[in-house]
Amino acid sequence: MNSPMKRRDFLKTAAAVGAGTIAGSAELLAEAGRLGAHSAIRPVVIASSNGLKATAKAMEIIRAGGDALDAVIAGVNIVEDDPTDMSVGYGGLPNEDGVVELDSSVMHGPTGRGGAVASLRNIKNPSKVARLVMERTDHVLIVGEGALRFAKAHGFKEEDLLTDAAREVWLKWKENSSTKDDWLPPHDMDTRDIGESLKEFFRTTGTINCNGLDLRGNISGVTTTSGLAFKIPGRVGDSPILGAGLYVDNTVGAAGSTGRGEANLLSCSSVMIVEYMRAGKSPEEACLQACKRIAEQTKMKRLLDDNGRPNFNVNFYAINKKGEYGGASIWSGSQYAVNTGEAESRRMECAYLYKRAER
């Protein structure tokens, strides 16, 4: 049997892991040069299209010598705190009872660890709580009431996350909700006409995924969301599920998603994208391959258009160890945000499987 790690050893290890947050970038580049890795490290931060500020913030931290996980979490905290982004954190759209429930996951490449929370109420920065699950528990995912109690034990303050703007959108949905919810009557594979909500091509969704490669060549990622608007309480999407809404392998790259979480949960696309990259595909090709796989796996008629194509969208964002990046969606028109440290954050078009106008 292994003897338990002594506390002193543990502290030494923790200090070594945390060292990345204090060294300066000049020092890091010198270190990389000594290792012959200097020319190979091209830092990059990618995010969903709502991540212009997040990618800029994350790159600022990376260029100052910070660890990629510190960087991407600080980036998405801006969006979690922003009441005008109704898909993430404070101001996110609520569940069908009018209560905001948040999901988030983080992965830290260099230590091979991850953490996540789901259905977390009243705490506006679920990404910080996900990180604490990773660092201060022997678990990976904590949900609901337990996640809230865990956050409070660590000093997070409860607050009402429902803004007036989000409440008004919810109220409108509620007042018109007879056929616009997620409860389905009995149906079979050939049932097409099952209610308004699934006919709406782009039902209100949103999330931020943000992945970064730092000056040490280490990769980390985070995904954080209020999930599908007006979901059944307790519904968990893809965002907090490692392998689905986020996956990081420090030797290969990172990938994450936004869009219809149910489709991604059934295909575990983020881990697939990392594996496609390991097999040699570029980030964009790997993301597109994941979209194809979802299209192939979608068989219920209610989820298909007249041409047999998914009637929903999923978007993927990926980076690799070389600093290459890319994104892809099932349907055209999606964008991603990227910052390579040379210029301001910018939005780029995602590759796509199907052109939206053709529907």
Residues forming the active site: 207
Our finding on whether 334 is near ligand ASP (CB under 6 A) is: no
Which two tokens mark 305? 């258009």
Q: Given the rule CB under 6 A, which of 57-65, 202-210, 267-275, 342-350 is the region that contacts ligand ASP?
A: 202-210
In angstroms, give the least distance from the CB of 157 to ligand ASP. 25
Cα distance between residue 266 and residue 263, in whole Å: 5
Beta carbons within 10 angstroms of residue 354's beta carbon: 18
The secondary element (H helix, E strand) that includes residue 26 is: helix 25-34
Residue 41 vs 229, nearer CB to ligand ASP: 229
Identify the bridge partners of residue 208 per DSSP, sorted by sequence position.
224
Helical H segments across 67-209, by residue range:
68-81, 126-136, 144-153, 164-175, 196-199
In angstroms, give the least distance from the CB of 55 to ligand ASP. 17
Residue 182 vs 196, nearer CB to ligand ASP: 182
Residue 250 vs 336, nearer CB to ligand ASP: 336
Our finding on whether 217 is near ligand ASP (CB under 6 A) is: no
Identify the bridge partners of residue 224 per DSSP, sorted by sequence position.
104, 208
Cα distance between residue 307 and residue 23, in whole Å: 55
- From the number of C-beta atoms within 10 Å of its C-beta (0-12, 13-18, 19+), residue 147 rates as buried
Residue among 70, 80, 96, 238 that touches ligand ASP (CB under 6 A): 238
Binding-site string for ligand ASP from residue 243 to residue 262, where x marks contact by CB under 6 A and - marks none:
---------------xx-x-
Count of residues that interact with ligand ASP, criterion CB under 6 A: 12
Q: Given the rule CB under 6 A, which of 112-120, 192-200, 225-233, 326-334 is the region that contacts ligand ASP?
A: 225-233
Our finding on whether 221 is near ligand ASP (CB under 6 A) is: no
In angstroms, give the least distance from the CB of 203 to ligand ASP. 9
Beta carbons within 10 angstroms of residue 58's beta carbon: 35
Our finding on whether 205 is near ligand ASP (CB under 6 A) is: yes
In angstroms, give the least distance from the CB of 218 to ligand ASP. 26
Q: What are the helix and strand counts (H, E) for the chain? A: 11, 13
Our finding on whether 241 is near ligand ASP (CB under 6 A) is: no
Our finding on whether 269 is near ligand ASP (CB under 6 A) is: no
Cα distance between residue 159 and residue 323, in whole Å: 38
Residue 105 vs 205, nearer CB to ligand ASP: 205
Is the Cβ–Cβ distance between 161 and 100 less than 8 Å?
A: yes
Residue 65 vs 92, nearer CB to ligand ASP: 92
Is the Cβ–Cβ distance between 346 and 59 less than 8 Å?
A: no
Q: How far is CA 333 from CA 225, 238, 259, 349, 350, in A?
A: 21, 21, 13, 7, 7
In angstroms, give the least distance from the CB of 315 to ligand ASP. 8
Binding-site string for ligand ASP from residue 159 to residue 198, where x marks contact by CB under 6 A and - marks none:
----------------------------------------
Beta carbons within 10 angstroms of residue 251's beta carbon: 10
Residue 95 vs 218, nearer CB to ligand ASP: 95
Residue 64 vs 99, nearer CB to ligand ASP: 99
Is the Cβ–Cβ distance between 88 and 76 less than 8 Å?
A: yes
Residue 139 CA from chain centroid, whole number? 19
What does the binding site for ligand ASP look like in residue numbers (CB under 6 A)?
205-207, 225, 227-228, 237-239, 258-259, 261
